[in-house]
């Protein structure tokens, strides 16, 4: 949900080649083009491109956005351990960490949702390359700031005919996984590992 400050910030992070920028663009287009919200999208990737840590941010609001970058993300998607380690400290105190449990073994908080995006992509579709769309489906369902219909419409508009079907199926697989999560059972604020009792 969009908070009291009327902005919702999402950071997609992973290593170059995992498709986090594509996922962020699809989410931004769903929110802006199809849901009619104000949205800003920015991305950053290391000089290595493939293998280096990359991230993409989406800021969504019901009002004009005065600053386009994410300051304290409400949701952080970490597709690998390096990106989780690099960006976790930026997350809001009541933010949600979403990780690919296939590649993130050390989760720094108990306010986290762990879904094996890469494993799902490999086992259900035979292609790890669609793990980003599995993750996008989960993020879209968990963040509650974009309609799932708009998310699917934006996805179908983004990809050429030959790969629309597999990407749509991957998106729906992520939505299905996220719908199994009971967010009410998570702590209200982030509790770092060292503070757990």
Please tell me the predicted confidence (pLDDT) of residue 50. 57
Task: Name the class of domain 8-185.
Answer: alpha beta
Determine whether 34 is exposed, middle or buried from the number of CB atoms within 10 Å of its CB (0-12, 13-18, 19+).
middle
Domain chopping of the chain, boundaries? 8-185
Please tell me the predicted confidence (pLDDT) of residue 197. 46
Q: Which residues of 119-157 are buried (b: 16+ CB within 10 A; e: fewer)?
A: bbbbeebeebbbbbbbbbbbbbbbbebbebebbbbbbee
The answer to whether 20 and 77 have CB atoms below 8 angstroms apart is yes
Please tell me the predicted confidence (pLDDT) of residue 117. 98
pLDDT, tens digit only, all 197 positions of the chain: 666 568 999 999 999 889 999 999 999 999 999 999 999 999 886 654 556 788 999 999 999 999 989 999 999 999 999 999 999 999 999 999 999 999 999 999 999 999 999 999 999 999 999 999 999 999 999 999 999 999 999 999 999 898 999 999 999 999 999 999 999 999 988 876 555 44
Written in H, E and C, the secondary structure of 98-161 is EEECCCCCCCCECCEEEECHHHHHHHHHCCHHHHHHHHHHHHHHHHCCCCHHHHHHHHHHHCCH
**Dist CA 162 CA 36 (whole Å):** 28
**Dist CA 16 CA 22 (whole Å):** 11
**Dist CA 77 CA 128 (whole Å):** 17
The pTM score is 0.91
């Amino acid at each position: 949900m969009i908070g009291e400050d009327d902005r919702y910030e999402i950071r997609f992070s992973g290593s170059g080649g995992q498709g986090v920028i594509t996922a962020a663009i699809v989410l931004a287009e769903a929110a802006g083009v199809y849901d009619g919200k104000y949205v800003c999208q920015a991305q950053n990737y290391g000089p290595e491109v493939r293998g280096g840590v990359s991230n993409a941010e989406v800021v969504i609001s019901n009002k004009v956005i005065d600053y386009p970058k994410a300051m304290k993300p409400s949701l952080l998607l970490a597709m690998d351990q390096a990106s989780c380690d690099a960006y976790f400290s930026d997350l809001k105190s009541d933010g949600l960490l979403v990780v690919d449990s296939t590649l993130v073994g050390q989760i720094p908080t108990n306010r986290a949702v762990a879904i094996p995006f890469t494993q799902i992509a490999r086992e259900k579709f035979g292609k790890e390359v669609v793990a980003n769309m599995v993750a996008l489906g989960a993020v879209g369902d968990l963040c509650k700031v974009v309609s799932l219909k708009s998310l699917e419409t934006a996805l179908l508009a983004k990809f050429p005919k030959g790969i629309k079907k597999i990407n749509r199926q991957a998106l729906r697989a992520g939505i299905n996984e996220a719908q199994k999560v009971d967010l009410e059972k998570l702590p209200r604020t982030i509790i770092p590992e060292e503070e757990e009792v």
